[in-house]
Amino acid sequence: MQGNKTNEINNKELKETLANTALSILIQGEHYDDLLGLTVEFGYLFDFEGHGIEALFKIITDKGIFYFAAQKDSLMKLDFSEEYFKAHTQTFFEIHG
C-alpha cells in the first residue's frame, strides 16, 4: 500500500455507507427477519492514499453475525469466525497501527 493512511473509524458517513451496502447483500428471511436491534461493529477502517479503503466489520442481526471486508472499491461478505475477525484486526493494527 502506498502513501499516507488515515484512520476513518470516526467517519460516520463512510461507516453508514459501508454498512448499508453490506446490508443490501444480506437477504431478508435468510440473514435477518427484523432489522430492529441490528448492530455493526468495525474492526478497522482506514483510507490509504493511492489505494483506497481497507475495512473489516461485522453486522449482527437477529439470525447471526455476518462479516465483511472492504478493499479499494470492493465489498465482500466473508466466511469468518469471531476468533479470525479478532486476530485479523489485531494483525492489521500491528502492521498499520
pLDDT tier at 70, thresholds 50, 70, 90: very high
Q: What is the pLDDT of residues 10-55, one digit of tens each?
A: 999 999 999 999 999 999 999 999 999 999 999 999 999 988 999 9
**In the block, which residue shows the cell 483510507?**
47
Domain that holds residue 70: 5-96
DSSP designation for 38:
-
Give the count of beta carbons closer than 10 Å to the beta carbon of residue 47. 17
Model pTM?
0.91
CA of 39: how far to CAs of 14, 60, 72, 97, in Å?
Answer: 16, 5, 24, 25
Residue 20 DSSP SS3: helix
- Report the domain count for the chain: 1
